[in-house]
Structures are given as structure tokens and as C-alpha cells.
Amino acid sequence: MRGRLGEREPRLFGTVFLGGSVLMAGVMIAGTSALAAPSVLVEAGGKAVDPGAASMARALAVTLLSVFAPRIATLVMFSTAALSRKTKALPLWMIYVTYLVGIVEFVNFTVAQPTVYVFPTWIGLVSIVLLIRDQPAHLPPPHVQAAA
């Protein structure tokens, strides 16, 4: 997104987009680390894991990955939609899809397996649209605009 927008990027939305993306990566790393911690303890330490500690690590992982991660994903989706709306980086139908998926992701409180794939599927769709779509005709490409 940022490479396509260049100097046209609104600073506030760009900062929220970048910050949300970094926060999303951090939550995903922390959640998967908490999920893997009991296994790593058994493998590296050669000790049996206390069932209470394993249960606590799993609860932390589930909370991070199924409660906080979708909310942060919504932040990334909404900031992407706002950036796209201002700069026309994505087509209008994709902006509406982004808002719709973001709302669904935000209000979903289930820990169901299919909901895990919502954000990665959205990322894939946005990536495909950005790769296929040409630059908007009324805006010069970012590298041309920066050189002027």
C-alpha cells in the first residue's frame, strides 16, 4: 500500500496503518509463542509441563489470537479503506468489501476455525487487486511524482 501511495499518503491514516500492522505482527508472534511455550519447555528442558501452566499458556494464546488479533486486524482494514478512499489506491467495490469484512471481524466473538482465515484472505484479495490494478489515470505513479 505505502509503495503505491507515495507522497499522496495522508500522514494520519498512514501512521495508523503502519502502527496497526506492526501491532498485529506483535500480537501474532506473542500469541503463537504462548501457544508453543509448553511444547518448547518439554523439548528444550526435558521436563513435564504443569497442567495448570499449560492451560494458562493456552488461555493466553486463545485470548491474543481470537480476541485481540481480530480487533487489531479491523484497525488495519479500516485504515487501509480510509487510505484507499482518499487516494483511490483500491477500487470502490474493494473499499466497501473492506469495511464490510472489518465490521464482521470486529463484532465476531466466536473462536471458530473459519474465522481464523478472514484476515489472511482479505490480505490476499487486496494484494491481488493491487497487483492487477493499474495506477489511477488521474494520478501519476509515485516515483514520477516524487521526482517532480
Say if residue 34's pLDDT is above 80. yes
Cell digits of residue 87: 487516494
Domain membership of residue 24 as a residue range: 2-147
Grid coordinates representing 147 are 521526482
Q: Is the pLDDT of residue 112 over 60?
A: yes
Cell numbers standing for residue 118: 478472514
Residue 64 CB neighbours (<10 A)? 21
Q: What is the mean pLDDT of the chain?
A: 80
**Residue 20, pLDDT score:** 80
| 5 vs 49, higher pLDDT | 49
Average pLDDT for 77-104: 89
pLDDT tens sequence across 115-142: 778 888 998 999 899 888 776 555 555 5
What pLDDT was estimated at residue 96?
95
Pick from 141, 26, 35: nearest CA to 76: 26
**Beta strand segments in 4-103, E:** none
Q: What is the mean pLDDT of residues 18-39?
A: 88
**The pLDDT value given to residue 148:** 47
Q: Are 28 and 65 in contact (CB under 8 A)?
A: yes
Q: How confident is the model at residue 146 (pLDDT cuts 50, 70, 90)?
A: very low
Higher-scoring residue by pLDDT: 8, 108:
108
- Please list, residue by residue across 9-29, b when 16 or more beta carbons sit within 10 angstroms of its beta carbon and e when fewer do: bbeebbebbeebbeebeebbe
What's at 66, amino acid-wise? S
User: pLDDT-derived band of residue 42, with 50, 70 and 90 as boundaries?
Assistant: confident
Q: Give pTM, 2 decimals.
A: 0.69
What domain count does the chain have? 1
